[in-house]
């Protein structure tokens, strides 16, 4: 695949001598308009890349915090068209920032693989993270994604064998999502000690950037992960700030402030 907005952005942060900050929030949380504003706030605070989650009734990778946000979004009636509208509005407001969709496979399959890829590209999306799609079953998606210039990011875990890492990274593009700990997402008091080893094992198989997610919630943790990874992915900590806010404006201010704090962390030497 030719250079994409995502690969160009990650190359730029590497050239600047730092890791990228990648922020995640689900679409439709707390409302469609409120979720769009919150994702824009992540960028305004300093995120280099954003992930727009497609709320799912059975989010097997996500912990209680993101499940709560997904439940709120689904009870609010969010649909795939709203997710794509969120991508479109964020991409239009921040054309230099890659906007990814993170989704489980079932909604894409039901929407139609070719249709989803085409509509995501038309919305200005940069690619997809598909945590439950085995690379062996991803041929149809990858073909559609490549036709529309979309990156396909696969997730690897500490339990992945070296052989498996080589197979998965060969199929992916953009970056590799390294899950820092075993289990579901959620903020943690300390970054899992499996992360650095996983990044090293993954890098031995690919030239793709390796970005670490699951557990980072403050600047010190971001700085720690940025010391050995190409990107730091933060989701639950942003969702918690929105859940804890008394009113929408306070939530936006809180996620913007956290993004700024984390952005300082990934730049710390």
Residue 62 annotated in active site: yes
**Cα(225)–Cα(193) distance, rounded to whole angstroms?**
10
SS3 of 145, please? helix
Distance CA 233, CA 211 (A): 7
Q: Are 152 and 142 in contact (CB under 8 A)?
A: yes
Residue 163, SS3?
helix
DSSP per-residue letters across 32-86: HHHHHHHHHHHHHHT-SEEEEE---SS-TT--HHHHHHHHHHHHTT--HHHHHHH
For the four alpha carbons of 253, 259, 260 and 261, in that order, the dihedral sign comes to positive
Phi then psi for 102, rounded to 5 degrees?
Answer: -110, 120
Q: Identify the H or E element spanning 25.
A: strand 20-26
Alpha-carbon distance of 228 to 243, in angstroms, equals 31
From the candidates 3, 33, 44, 62, give the one annotated as an active-site residue.
62
Q: In the annotation, is 140 catalytic?
A: no
Bridge-based pairing of strands 127-129 and 210-213 is unpaired
CA pseudo-torsion sign 9, 11, 15, 18:
positive
Candidate list 33, 44, 48, 51, residue with the active-site label: 51
What is the Cα–Cα distance from 72 to 243, expressed in whole angstroms? Answer: 10
Q: Give CA–CA dist 246/238, Å, rounded.
A: 15
**Which sequence positions are flagged as catalytic?**
51, 62
């Amino acid at each position: 695949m030719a250079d994409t907005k995502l690969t160009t952005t990650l190359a730029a942060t590497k050239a600047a001598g730092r890791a990228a900050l990648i922020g995640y929030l689900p679409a439709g949380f707390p409302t469609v308009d409120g979720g769009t504003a919150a994702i824009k706030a992540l960028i305004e605070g300093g995120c280099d890349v954003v992930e727009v989650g497609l709320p799912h009734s059975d989010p097997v990778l996500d912990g209680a915090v993101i499940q709560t946000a997904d439940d709120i979004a689904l009870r609010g009636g969010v649909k795939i068209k709203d997710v794509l509208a969120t991508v479109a509005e964020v991409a239009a407001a921040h054309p230099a920032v890659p906007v990814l969709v993170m989704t489980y496979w079932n909604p894409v399959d039901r929407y139609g693989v070719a249709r989803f890829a085409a509509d995501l590209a038309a919305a200005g999306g940069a690619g997809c993270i598909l945590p439950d799609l085995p690379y062996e079953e991803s041929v149809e998606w990858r073909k559609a994604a490549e036709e529309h210039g979309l990156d396909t990011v696969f997730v690897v875990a500490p339990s992945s064998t070296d052989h498996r890492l080589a197979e998965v990274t060969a199929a992916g593009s953009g970056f590799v999502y390294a899950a820092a700990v075993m289990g579901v997402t959620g903020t943690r008091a300390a970054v899992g000690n499996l992360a650095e080893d996983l990044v090293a094992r993954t890098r031995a198989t690919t030239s793709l950037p390796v970005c670490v997610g699951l557990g980072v919630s403050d600047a010190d943790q971001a700085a720690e992960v940025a010391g050995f990874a190409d990107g730091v992915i933060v989701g639950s900590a942003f969702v918690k700030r929105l859940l804890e806010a008394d009113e929408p404006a306070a939530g936006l201010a809180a996620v913007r402030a956290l993004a700024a704090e984390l952005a300082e962390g990934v730049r710390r030497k």
